[in-house]
Amino acid sequence: MSCPECPRGLAGAQHAVPFDEVNGRIVTALKDHGRRDLGDVMARVMVARCAAPTGAAVLVPVPLTHARHRRRGYNQSTVLAEALGRRWSVEVDDGLLARTREAPPQRGSSRTARAAHVRGAFQVVRAGPADPIWLVDDVLTTGATIGACAIALRRAGIRGIRAVTFARVVGVRSERSAEPDVQ
């Protein structure tokens, strides 16, 4: 499914499922309960419902803060990107983009706060591959995180940036986030 309101800086975005109670539990189990095996299940759903990259695309997982990565022991976006890469036969580059500073969790934050938390928080750390880059994340809520990643990639000269996520929060109209239980 294509994202009708793509975050700034993206050529396009798509998601496999709407964020709802059931899909939210799946995401939470992957993120907070060590259920890395769900990355493969989620990737199967993504492959079935999302168009595959064409050409020499590279999948780039959205990086975590160092503290969050240490606490979890893995990055759920990397788990998803690797599972997608195997299924789509697409390279995964987990070292292209880095989070340069810690930020508070996005969970429960307003749209404005989410954007402020991630503004300038990502950096391309080495020369990247040729376009296109596909950012991979578990959930797209307001687009603040993926948008901040896209800005960093564009500053490094990459223009063909797309995103693919497992879930998308649909209908976020208020200042408060519709996804209080995920980040």
pLDDT tens for 91-101 read: 999 999 999 87
Whether 2 is covered by a domain: the verdict is no
Whether 183 is covered by a domain: the verdict is no
pLDDT of residue 173: 43
Whether 63 is covered by a domain: the verdict is yes
Position 174 pLDDT exceeds 60: no
Whether 177 is covered by a domain: the verdict is no
Position 141 pLDDT exceeds 80: yes
Whether 92 is covered by a domain: the verdict is yes
pLDDT of residue 143: 85
Q: What is the CATH number of the domain that holds 43?
A: 3.40.50
**Tokens matching residue 96:** 């292209």
Position 3 pLDDT exceeds 50: no
Mean pLDDT of 35-55: 95
Percent of the chain with pLDDT over 70: 77
Mean pLDDT of 161-180: 68
pLDDT of residue 127: 75
Whether 79 is covered by a domain: the verdict is yes
Mean pLDDT of 18-44: 95
- Show the domain range for 88: 12-168
What total of structural domains would you count in the chain?
1
